[in-house]
A and B are shown apart, each in its own frame.
Chain A
Amino acid sequence: MVNRTPVIAIIGAGIAGLEAARQLNDLGYKPILIEKAPVTGGHVAEWNRLFPDMSPAADLVQSLESQTAKVRTMTGTEIASINRLKDGYSLILSDGETLVCEAVLFATGFHLFDASKKEEYGYGIYEKVITNRDLEQWFNTRHDPRIGHPKAVGFVHCVGSRDVKAGNTQCSKVCCITAIKQAIEIKEEFPEAEVYCFYMDLRLFGKKYEDFYIKAQRDCGIHFIRGRVSEVGEAIDGRVVVKAEDTLSGKPVKVTLDLLVLMAGIICNSDAQHYAQQVGVAVDDDGFLKSRDNVGAIVESSRPGIFFAGACTGAKTVPETLAEARSAALAIHRYFSKRG
């Protein structure tokens, strides 16, 4: 490997991978995108509109895709194994190809928590229980027999987040704002519907998030109930009965709903853990990949030539992910500049 343009294998062509590929390409490197799914764009490609500006997710993905059109992108490709070489890495791909590269960028993203594992919420059992992803897909396709014309809709925050039983004790960061965004969208869709948000704590930390909250309260009349849903039952007519405690009044509450949306949280991508193990990169105790330093070097691993971007190191919002992808590209650039 003498003096060739450094090749950087980017695992995952979600928004982190695409953005990093764009930057690396511009910097004169040769990034290669490896994507397990048949299409690029990752989770964001399944989403409808993005907070805080309600910009279409498809616009962002399309723009990233068009800017990486020249980057070699291998979709529908899995990685069989990654091996360390003297000054680089070799990736054996599911199509049999061996890819030798000078650096690897993990843009492996996250898995959405499987809501059926919270069996008490009845996802997959009750027809009227759906997830945040199901709802976004309905916004996109307008096709989901479960949704109908609801008169009462509930959102359950923290499904599979901050929950030791679900194996994820961390906050997923984006569910609070996503729930409020979706609640507003539902309310706009069905102005007659009563909408309830069941939350443990509202964590609205980002730019303009608080405006969403105010809009939900003032303009949409969404009911915020501070209490985690503990049980979901079924009424005779097929609607769902939700039980929670309204902890602010200290009284148990019960409400019958036509639609219950579970805000499935962000959990670590088990594939990423697997690859990390192969190249000797540490996995943090929250299950996400471990950065060299959680303050100054989030995009760097403790191993030379391995970099991180996006939700592989923890839950991130879209702008955070994009910023991190650019930051990772710069870190890679610095890495090669130093090596000379």
Chain B
Amino acid sequence: MRERFANHFDPFVIPFLVGMAFVLGYYLIGMIRVILQLPKADRKRFLLTLITPKYIWMNIRDIFLNCLIHVKLWKRNRVLGYMHSSIAFGWFMIILLGHLEVILFVPERIHLFYYPIFFNYFVAETEQTIQGSLLMFLMDFFLLMILSGIAIAIIKRFASRIVGMRRTTRLSLLDQVGLYSLWSIFPLRLLAESFTAHISGGSFLTIPANWIFRQFLGNDLNALPTWWAYSIALGVFMCVLPFTRYMHIPAEMLLIPMRNAGIRIRHPRKGFALLEVYSCPACGVCIDACPMSVRKVNCKDATVYLNRQLRRGNERRIEEISDKCLLCGKCTAVCQVGVQGPELRMAQRARRKYALSPSYSGINVRPMAAAVAHGAGGDSGGVLYFAGCMTKLTPSIRRATTSLLDKAGVRWQMMDPEEGLCCGRPLMMAGRSEQARELIAKNAEIIRASGCDTLLLSCPICYKIFKEEYRLDGIRVVHHSVFFEELIEAGRLKVRRNGDLKLVYHDPCELGRGCGVYEEPRKALAAAGELVEAGKHHAESICCGGSLGSLTLGFEQRRPMTQNALDNLTVADPDQIVTACPLCFSTFVHAADRPVRDIAEILDSQS
């Protein structure tokens, strides 16, 4: 090995150095800002995890798996997974190997930032060593890997369907600059290294390329411009990076430790939310996933565009996108970075100013509390069934639920036989959590008065908030689908299986993605009939379109979403569509071409 230049410098490294300094400075300041914006308790918690060995290991593992290997994307789409991991991992390896070369051959130059990047320009290989050729081989290997990834990226940009995406994001101008400079970095590196390969050495890519070029170019002076071009491409990319979607690369490295520390979104524009917004790689997977996207006009309301508008500060659009969303959570389920679209929107809704704010302090719940306390005969234990607002409009669900309770010999009583209060979840979704808290306090008073040990819900909307936000000291909160599955399991509920009855189960958003309940309803249904799956199911099930999450979508706009969800449910041609949510039920019942039932109805009719 021999260094080619005594001063170890050439002006062509300046664009790279400028870019590097800029991006590092920007990232450092941004990182500190985000950490400072966290509420004090969150900040303390986060910083503590950074020095806890368990978390350190978790963070390293998650950063490696997500930022470099893109495991989540691999599971979703192999072509896209390969594309991203080849670029990210390949680039990482080239940087790592560059440093290794410097450490091995010219350790005294390690303080020069640009040396590992432009190693082959500054250092010439004078003799063939196994060590040297192995490193050269690996360099070419990873460069080839990146180039193949770039090739897929180019195909994807111009024909997204080939890689299995129906829609991809429309890029802003700066994103385009970032994209094209990123694309050009690696072919330029190949060119630059090829021009110097007969001096500095190379491997299976660069040496043949060098040979070809020398056939008709032959002039070593061509080398320097290509190294300039390579450096400029790097410099441009790094200078525009903070203003493009590529900010996700550094942002995600902070997002992962923060998420591991259990930090939540508390403000739509600050701290953790800001980090999520910048971590969005704008890949556009959420566009296809979003149930609203069946209407072309709503494609622009996917989470990727919310993130973009939040970065731009376009208030009108932020408000529009935030209010329209169904809060079904599917974008989060498919997002490789895990951007919490619904939480971002709810935080945004919570910032809204109102001229009039409801208050429920005047509502006296004592009569309702007394009614349940009396109904239980002062006994403790037993099940308190809260049907909730939506189940009032679906008497079949309420009737089937109470009938099953009787069949299983469960001691139960109704929490809202006549009037009842709302659970508070719809207010929460509208961003009015202060009001929701008032309702939570009132309902909790009634529940405690009942002396029950189990609170049974047939509505997942209620279930989610009772489970997450109510403090009911020891009272079990359970959804009817889970409760009945347990009763079947325990042999208290005898269900006859009708093998000719083909059922498909629709995962309600609030129950599935919202509370992670997927298997119990399926198990219960499998005991009653033949269970088939929808096209998309479990965490990827499609919202019925009736969600209370959306504040602005009108009935007519929701209709195509409902139809789309039904089309997805009927791919296996089931006899009946089964759900476990009164809102999904009511939404489907008018639009479906076959019977729609609640899980309780199926179990009741088969027992």
Interface, chain A (partner B; CB < 8 A)? 117, 119-120, 122, 125-126, 164-167, 231-234
Q: A165-B555, A231-B392 are in contact. Are A119 and B399 (CB under 8 A)?
A: no
- Most chain-B Cβ atoms within 10 A of its Cβ — which of A119, A126, A165, A233? A119
Q: CA of A60 to CA of B210 in the docked complex: distance in angstroms?
A: 99
Asked if residues A120 and B590 are in contact (CB atoms below 8 Å), the reply is no
Q: CA of A120 to CA of B395 in the docked complex: distance in angstroms?
A: 6
- Most chain-B Cβ atoms within 10 A of its Cβ — which of A125, A164, A233? A125
16 extra A-B contacts, CB within 8 A, seeds A119-B589, A125-B396? A119-B394, A119-B395, A119-B396, A119-B585, A119-B586, A120-B393, A120-B394, A120-B395, A125-B395, A125-B399, A164-B556, A165-B555, A167-B590, A232-B395, A233-B395, A234-B395
Chain B residues with Cβ below 8 Å from A231 are: 392-393
Interface, chain B (partner A; CB < 8 A)? 392-396, 399, 555-556, 585-586, 589-591
Closest residue of chain A to B586 (Cβ to Cβ) is: A119
Q: CA of A232 to CA of B425 in the docked complex: distance in angstroms?
A: 25
Asked if residues A164 and B555 are in contact (CB atoms below 8 Å), the reply is yes
Asked if residues A165 and B590 are in contact (CB atoms below 8 Å), the reply is yes
Chain A residues with Cβ below 8 Å from B585 are: 119
Q: Which of B393, B556, B591 contacts A119 (CB 8 A)?
A: B393
List 14 A-B residue pairs with CB atoms under 8 Å apart, sorted by A's residue number.
Answer: A119-B395, A119-B396, A119-B585, A119-B589, A120-B394, A125-B396, A164-B555, A164-B556, A167-B591, A231-B392, A231-B393, A233-B392, A234-B395, A234-B399
Q: CA of A125 to CA of B396 in the docked complex: distance in angstroms?
A: 6
A167 to chain B, nearest CB (A): 6
Q: CA of A167 to CA of B592 in the docked complex: distance in angstroms?
A: 12
Chain A residues with Cβ below 8 Å from B590 are: 117, 165-167
Chain A residues with Cβ below 8 Å from B556 are: 164
Q: CA of A300 to CA of B556 in the docked complex: distance in angstroms?
A: 31
B480 to chain A, nearest CB (A): 17
Chain B residues with Cβ below 8 Å from A166 are: 590
Asked if residues B396 and A117 are in contact (CB atoms below 8 Å), the reply is no
B599 to chain A, nearest CB (A): 15
Chain A residues with Cβ below 8 Å from B392 are: 231, 233
Q: CA of A117 to CA of B586 in the docked complex: distance in angstroms?
A: 9
Asked if residues B555 and A122 are in contact (CB atoms below 8 Å), the reply is no
Q: Which of A122, A167, A233 contacts B396 (CB 8 A)?
A: A122
Chain B residues with Cβ below 8 Å from A119 are: 393-396, 585-586, 589
Closest residue of chain B to A122 (Cβ to Cβ) is: B395
B557 to chain A, nearest CB (A): 12
Helix, strand, loop or mixed for chain A's interface?
mixed
Q: CA of A30 to CA of B586 in the docked complex: distance in angstroms?
A: 49
**Leading 9 A-B pairs by shortest Cβ distance:** A120-B393, A122-B395, A125-B396, A119-B394, A125-B395, A119-B589, A117-B590, A165-B590, A117-B589
B374 to chain A, nearest CB (A): 16
B14 to chain A, nearest CB (A): 66
Asked if residues A126 and B395 are in contact (CB atoms below 8 Å), the reply is yes
B150 to chain A, nearest CB (A): 49
B393 to chain A, nearest CB (A): 4
A53 to chain B, nearest CB (A): 37
Closest residue of chain A to B582 (Cβ to Cβ) is: A119
Q: CA of A120 to CA of B92 in the docked complex: distance in angstroms?
A: 60
Closest residue of chain B to A241 (Cβ to Cβ) is: B418
Closest residue of chain A to B596 (Cβ to Cβ) is: A119
A296 to chain B, nearest CB (A): 31
Closest residue of chain A to B587 (Cβ to Cβ) is: A165
Q: CA of A166 to CA of B589 in the docked complex: distance in angstroms?
A: 9
Chain A residues with Cβ below 8 Å from B589 are: 117, 119
Chain B residues with Cβ below 8 Å from A167 are: 590-591
Q: CA of A59 to CA of B338 in the docked complex: distance in angstroms?
A: 71
Closest residue of chain B to A121 (Cβ to Cβ) is: B395
Q: CA of A233 to CA of B392 in the docked complex: distance in angstroms?
A: 8
Chain B residues with Cβ below 8 Å from A126 are: 395
Q: CA of A125 to CA of B397 in the docked complex: distance in angstroms?
A: 10
Q: CA of A167 to CA of B590 in the docked complex: distance in angstroms?
A: 7
Chain A residues with Cβ below 8 Å from B586 are: 119
Closest residue of chain B to A129 (Cβ to Cβ) is: B395
Q: CA of A166 to CA of B585 in the docked complex: distance in angstroms?
A: 14
A120 to chain B, nearest CB (A): 4
Q: CA of A157 to CA of B556 in the docked complex: distance in angstroms?
A: 24
Q: CA of A337 to CA of B119 in the docked complex: distance in angstroms?
A: 96
Q: CA of A120 to CA of B586 in the docked complex: distance in angstroms?
A: 9
- Most chain-A Cβ atoms within 10 A of its Cβ — which of B393, B394, B585, B586? B393
Chain B residues with Cβ below 8 Å from A232 are: 395
Chain A residues with Cβ below 8 Å from B396 are: 119, 122, 125
Q: CA of A117 to CA of B587 in the docked complex: distance in angstroms?
A: 11
Q: CA of A103 to CA of B367 in the docked complex: distance in angstroms?
A: 71
Chain B residues with Cβ below 8 Å from A164 are: 555-556
Q: CA of A231 to CA of B420 in the docked complex: distance in angstroms?
A: 15
Chain A residues with Cβ below 8 Å from B555 are: 164-165
Chain A residues with Cβ below 8 Å from B399 are: 125, 234
Q: CA of A125 to CA of B393 in the docked complex: distance in angstroms?
A: 13
A206 to chain B, nearest CB (A): 30
A294 to chain B, nearest CB (A): 23
Chain B residues with Cβ below 8 Å from A234 are: 395, 399
B251 to chain A, nearest CB (A): 44
A159 to chain B, nearest CB (A): 13
Q: CA of A164 to CA of B556 in the docked complex: distance in angstroms?
A: 9
Closest residue of chain A to B555 (Cβ to Cβ) is: A164
Chain A residues with Cβ below 8 Å from B395 are: 119-120, 122, 125-126, 232-234
Chain B residues with Cβ below 8 Å from A120 are: 393-395
Chain B residues with Cβ below 8 Å from A165 are: 555, 590
- Most chain-A Cβ atoms within 10 A of its Cβ — which of B392, B590, B591? B590
A338 to chain B, nearest CB (A): 42
Q: CA of A310 to CA of B589 in the docked complex: distance in angstroms?
A: 29
Q: CA of A165 to CA of B586 in the docked complex: distance in angstroms?
A: 10
Chain B residues with Cβ below 8 Å from A117 are: 589-590
B4 to chain A, nearest CB (A): 78
Chain A residues with Cβ below 8 Å from B393 are: 119-120, 231
Closest residue of chain B to A167 (Cβ to Cβ) is: B590
A119 to chain B, nearest CB (A): 5
Q: CA of A125 to CA of B399 in the docked complex: distance in angstroms?
A: 8
Closest residue of chain A to B393 (Cβ to Cβ) is: A120
Q: CA of A164 to CA of B396 in the docked complex: distance in angstroms?
A: 22
Q: CA of A42 to CA of B271 in the docked complex: distance in angstroms?
A: 69
Closest residue of chain B to A240 (Cβ to Cβ) is: B395
Closest residue of chain A to B396 (Cβ to Cβ) is: A125
Q: CA of A318 to CA of B208 in the docked complex: distance in angstroms?
A: 90
A117 to chain B, nearest CB (A): 6
Q: CA of A232 to CA of B396 in the docked complex: distance in angstroms?
A: 11
Q: CA of A122 to CA of B399 in the docked complex: distance in angstroms?
A: 10
B291 to chain A, nearest CB (A): 19
Q: CA of A233 to CA of B394 in the docked complex: distance in angstroms?
A: 10
Q: CA of A126 to CA of B591 in the docked complex: distance in angstroms?
A: 23
Q: CA of A167 to CA of B396 in the docked complex: distance in angstroms?
A: 21
A265 to chain B, nearest CB (A): 14
Q: CA of A231 to CA of B555 in the docked complex: distance in angstroms?
A: 20
A108 to chain B, nearest CB (A): 20
Closest residue of chain B to A163 (Cβ to Cβ) is: B590
Chain B residues with Cβ below 8 Å from A122 are: 395-396
Q: CA of A340 to CA of B396 in the docked complex: distance in angstroms?
A: 61
Closest residue of chain A to B417 (Cβ to Cβ) is: A233
B45 to chain A, nearest CB (A): 47
B400 to chain A, nearest CB (A): 9
Closest residue of chain B to A166 (Cβ to Cβ) is: B590
B398 to chain A, nearest CB (A): 9
A160 to chain B, nearest CB (A): 10
Closest residue of chain A to B601 (Cβ to Cβ) is: A125
B472 to chain A, nearest CB (A): 27
- Most chain-B Cβ atoms within 10 A of its Cβ — which of A120, A231, A234? A120
Closest residue of chain A to B400 (Cβ to Cβ) is: A125
Q: CA of A126 to CA of B399 in the docked complex: distance in angstroms?
A: 10
A302 to chain B, nearest CB (A): 27
Chain B residues with Cβ below 8 Å from A125 are: 395-396, 399
Q: CA of A119 to CA of B323 in the docked complex: distance in angstroms?
A: 29
